[in-house]
Amino acid sequence: MADEEKKSLLYKLKPFTDRLPAITKPEGHVHFRTKMLWVILILFLYFVMTNVYIYGLDLSTKIDLFQQYRAIIAGASGSILQLGIGPIVTGSIVMQLFTGAKIINLNLQDDEDKAVYQSTQKFVVIIMIFVEAIPQVFGYLDPSPAFVTNIGQAANNVSLLGIYPLYGGGRTIAQIIIIAQLFIGSYLIFLMDEIVSKWGIGSGISLFIAAGVSQQIFTGLFNPSPLAATPGSPAPTGPLALAPVGTIPKIIYVLFHVSAGQMSGSGFESLMLGNPNSVVALAGTVAIFLIVAWTESTRIELPLAHETAKGARGRYPIKLIYASNIPVILVAALLANVSMFSYLLWTNPTMQKIPLIGHQVLLGTYSAGSTLPTSGMAWYVSNINGLSDWLLPMINPAYGASSPQLANHVPYQFALWVIAFTLVYVIGSIIFARFWIETTNMGPAAVAEQIEGSGMQIPGFRRDPRVMKRVLERYIPSVTILSGALVGFLAVGADLIGTVGNATGVGLLLATGIMIQFYDAIGQEQMMEMHPVLRQFFGESG
């Protein structure tokens, strides 16, 4: 443990952070059946909460600042999960950056320092809930007029009794009530994530993302409703104007209701390449699923032998996607916050007045009624949604003329958009992958200590953590960089091709990887249930 004089200043927050609501870790082994029950219960509760709408919110005027990233934010617009996992992931980014830059003086190999890190992260999550909730509520999540009137009347009655001095009228109080609901929903998501991590299987955040993306893909495949006109966009026209939105019913509709003559021209192009849910997007979704399934099974396996139990052998797997999909979640969450604040700086009357960055064209511009950027830095890092967003307008600018996001751009700008979008995801994923393995005890030093503590060693090498560390340093750092770059490229590739249900490349990548990892985790849990001696190697007791 660190010496007393070298302890982090975060220890001063410990009396407060230790009192924050949290989920206690189970004492001893939790049976597999109990873990599965917790996973199912939390998943059911998550879907219930996505359908609990914010009381007093005017749904007709709400604007979803996370529209581009809704698949991986794992929430529902207008519900108490409006913020989704955004504050949790953003809090994790802040803590990782501060730890990696040595601004936070904590040794995550030390149990006490690690406990302070985790408790401080809860505090940072609470701060991020308010950072994301307050600008949205006071800018774009308006309380309904009836709710404001009722709150105002109630506040006036209390004020007349001398109990409450009325400030800001019923609207301010209504906004505070909405913020309170967002706080409750976001903190519940945080606690639900802890329940899954400690009492269930895998990660709660991963579970929520996979559930939301799977729902989007299912809807994109089978939705029988025709495409409705969106505000600010022209009404659908052409032979597919009345076609179902889902890819499969759309194909059936074309086969039975539309002639080849009617489909000539832009009809086939719209079916194959256009949004939403084109045939190419379906092919891309299947291709990415297969590629991720293959990469998840690709690994380097280091042979291990037990020091005393002769004949007892094992392997330590170093997966190709060693840092899992977490780095790409962090990049997407970071871009979601960039999108939100660039929109607020361009449109919010108060934030427009901030010197240098308020209403700054270089940061990002937006058309009225849309949260999609039309130019500036925000445009170059915004999500690409299929070939119709970049390839077709690059070939012929007329393809994007009806979309405010795509209009008034020349071909080289679309090329720069693709390049910038790719570089941000690839480089960002590499950086976060390096931070992630260090903060989760997956680095060479931590893994060497885990192997040595389990009584195992690498055959042919002296049983010494320093020796094991040198062996692992041949593989883990390189695989970490390759892992980050690969998940970044896969996410971008899926976005460039397009995905069913507009699940985004990140969403599809995450959902596929999460489901495969969850399947592997179930197998591991069942193995430990049958062979309790294996629990010691994986750090469980009881």
Cβ-defined contacts of 99-107 (< 8 Å, 24+) = 99/435, 99/438, 99/439, 100/434, 100/435, 100/438, 100/439, 104/8, 104/10, 105/2, 105/6, 105/7, 105/8, 105/9, 106/8, 106/10, 107/1, 107/2
Q: Which of 267-276, 325-334, 360-369 has the lowest mean pLDDT?
A: 267-276
Of 170, 189, 183, 182, nearest in space to 53 by CA: 182
Predicted pLDDT of residue 230: 54
As a whole number, mean pLDDT of residues 515-526 equals 82
Of 375, 388, 47, 399, nearest in space to 207 by CA: 47
Q: Does 112 map to a domain?
A: yes
As a whole number, mean pLDDT of residues 443-462 equals 79
Question: Helix 169-199 crosses helix 32-50 at what angle (to 10 degrees)?
Answer: 160
Predicted pLDDT of residue 15: 83
- Measured CA to CA, the distance from residue 515 to residue 219 in angstroms comes to 18
The secondary structure element, H or E, covering residue 298 is none
Q: Does 521 map to a domain?
A: yes
- Measured CA to CA, the distance from residue 524 to residue 67 in angstroms comes to 37
CATH code where residue 132 lies: 1.10.3370.10
Strands 456-457 and 299-306, by their bridges, are antiparallel
Contact (Cβ atoms closer than 8 angstroms) between residue 96 and residue 364: no
- Measured CA to CA, the distance from residue 383 to residue 26 in angstroms comes to 41
The rounded percent of the chain whose pLDDT value lies above 70 is: 89
φ/ψ of residue 366, rounded to 5: -140, 145
- Measured CA to CA, the distance from residue 389 to residue 274 in angstroms comes to 9
Of 192, 202, 180, nearest in space to 88 by CA: 192
Sheet holding 313-319, edge to edge: 313-319, 299-306, 456-457
Predicted pLDDT of residue 2: 43
Q: Which of 150-159, 214-223, 288-297 has the lowest mean pLDDT?
A: 150-159
Structural domain count of the chain: 1
Residue 441 has pLDDT above 80, yes or no: no
Question: Which residues touch 167 (CB under 8 Å, ≥6 apart)?
Answer: none
Print the domain residue range for 344: 21-223+277-537
Predicted pLDDT of residue 466: 80
| Six token digits for residue 250 | 């759309």
Q: Does 263 map to a domain?
A: no
Burial class (CB in 10 A: 0-12, 13-18, 19+), 428: buried
Q: Is the previous residue joined to 373 through a cis bond, with omega within 30 degrees of 0?
A: no
Per-residue three-class SS string for 92-131: HHHHHHHHHCCCCCCCCCCHHHHHHHHHHHHHHHHHHHHH
- Measured CA to CA, the distance from residue 136 to residue 275 in angstroms comes to 28
Q: Does 12 map to a domain?
A: no
Q: Does 42 map to a domain?
A: yes
Extended beta strands in 41-195, E state: none
Question: Which residues touch 472 (CB under 8 Å, ≥6 apart)?
Answer: 302, 444, 447, 448
Of 79, 30, 27, 74, nearest in space to 55 by CA: 79
**pLDDT tens digits, 275-320:** 788 889 999 999 988 998 888 888 888 888 776 666 567 788 888 8
Which residues on adjacent β-strands are paired with residue 317? 301
Predicted pLDDT of residue 111: 76
| pLDDT tier for residue 542 given thresholds of 50, 70 and 90 | very low
As a whole number, mean pLDDT of residues 522-528 equals 76
Q: Does 133 map to a domain?
A: yes
| pLDDT tier for residue 412 given thresholds of 50, 70 and 90 | very high
Average pLDDT of the chain to the nearest whole number: 83
Give the number of other Cβ atoms within 10 Å of residue 154's Cβ.
13
Is the pTM higher than 0.95? The answer reads no
- Measured CA to CA, the distance from residue 425 to residue 448 in angstroms comes to 30
Predicted pLDDT of residue 430: 95
As a whole number, mean pLDDT of residues 463-469 equals 78
Contact (Cβ atoms closer than 8 angstroms) between residue 83 and residue 181: no
- Measured CA to CA, the distance from residue 249 to residue 331 in angstroms comes to 34
The label of the residue with tokens 């071909």 reads: 411
Contact (Cβ atoms closer than 8 angstroms) between residue 96 and residue 432: yes
